[in-house]
Amino acid sequence: MKIIKLTDEEWDFCLTAAHYKCFFYTSFWKNQIIKNFGGQALLIKCEVASKNWLVPLYFGKPWSQGFRTSSIGYGGPIPLFHIHDPDLELKNIRNVLTELESKYKISCKGFTTYPSHDWASVTLKNKEFLSFTQILSLEKDPTYLFEKVFSGNVRTSIRRAQKEGVCVRLIYPNEVKVAYKLLVETQQTVKSTYVTPFSFFSSLFESASNGVKVWGAFSQLNEMVAMSMSLFTELDGFHLFSGWDRRLGKGGANQAILWTMIQEALKLNLVSFNLGESPSELLNKAKSRWGGNMVPILKGDL
């Protein structure tokens, strides 16, 4: 197996040939993670049976004693070609990671793949499992999505927000701390195992030219009552963060923001909008009301 360490520029160029592209594979994302969380990262191209794979490696504190192939999102080994046999793809992923363990003398402590319906049919080993994200197809126009795809509850919430004068827009620099406060309070309320550092949040906010957008929903009194972040690439959008004032949670502000982000993705001619993984059945049910399709993600370690 041939293993080559790539520069950021080389990696991003190679990434254009991958059949699945998302924000979490970019060198920009890698640099944001290392800048704000520490540790180190390598961008690796591996050649297996004359076929090339890209693998981002995160290691060192805080990524445990070994290496991981993702951090806050997807990022596992991705082929620069299309494999029609998912079991063969998984076998090659295991081989790639085993070779990287041998070369760098550290163990793989976790890998994550890109979302694909194909993972539902693979034969898993003991330390491998399937998670699920919900992806909304953007093949239809806004009117069709609103009237035919979204549930009645979603439509009612969006209309309620409009009736109550909720305004959704991109936030300004002087509103970053307010948005961050809503995010952290929400993470603490839902007992999230992860609290987003302010340095990471603010650094992403400053990266609008790289496809990051932070949205706020404002009451008629111009009070921010909800916030969300979207990540846009040339193909898909991703919903990363959400925070809201629970006292005003029934006003439809969260739904109004998500609908605005979906409309923005449609304007950009994206093919899908990823609503993200959910730690609870309740959240999964809420996302299903938007017409999201459950798509498997393969996770595990060696």
CATH number reported for the structural domain that contains residue 241 in this entry: 3.40.630.30
| Share above pLDDT 70 across residues of the chain, in percent, rounded to a whole number | 99
**Minimal CA–CA distance to 182: which of 196, 163, 203?**
196
Number of domains in the chain: 2
For residue range 13-57, what is the model confidence (pLDDT) as tens digits?
999 998 887 899 999 999 999 999 999 999 999 998 888 999 999
CA 237 to chain centre: 8
What pLDDT score does 61 carry?
A: 85
Q: Predicted confidence band at 63 (pLDDT cuts at 50, 70, 90)?
A: confident
Specify whether 46 is located in the same domain as 84. Answer: yes
Instruction: Look up the CATH number of the domain holding residue 14.
Output: 3.40.630
Q: Which amino acid is at 269?
A: N
The reply to whether 101 falls in a domain is yes
Structure tokens at 12: 């991003």
Structure tokens at 24: 């979490």
* Residues in the chain, total: 302
Specify whether 147 is located in the same domain as 263. Answer: yes
Specify whether 154 is located in the same domain as 113. Answer: no
Specify whether 166 is located in the same domain as 263. Answer: yes
Note the pTM of the prediction, 2 decimals: 0.92
Specify whether 214 is located in the same domain as 119. Answer: no
Specify whether 114 is located in the same domain as 214. Answer: no
Q: Which amino acid is at 16?
A: T
Residue 121's CB: how many other CB atoms inside 10 A?
Answer: 10
For residue range 277-295, what is the model confidence (pLDDT) as tens digits?
877 787 888 889 999 999 9
The pLDDT of residue 165 is above 80: yes
Contact present, 253 and 221 (Cβ < 8 Å): no
Ramachandran angles phi, psi of 62, nearest 5°: -100, 25
The reply to whether 279 falls in a domain is no
* Extended beta strands in 140-269, E state: 167-170, 212-218, 224-232, 236-244
Specify whether 157 is located in the same domain as 245. Answer: yes
Residues 6+ apart with CB under 8 A from 191: none
Specify whether 194 is located in the same domain as 156. Answer: yes
For residue range 65-111, what is the model confidence (pLDDT) as tens digits?
899 998 878 888 999 988 889 999 999 999 999 999 999 999 999 99
Specify whether 75 is located in the same domain as 108. Answer: yes
What pLDDT score does 151 carry?
A: 97
Specify whether 146 is located in the same domain as 264. Answer: yes
Q: 11 lies in which domain range?
A: 2-128
What pLDDT score does 248 carry?
A: 63
Specify whether 173 is located in the same domain as 251. Answer: yes
Contact present, 154 and 290 (Cβ < 8 Å): yes
In our burial notation (b when 16+ CB lie closer than 10 A, e otherwise), range 249-258 reads eebbbbbbbb
What pLDDT score does 251 carry?
A: 78
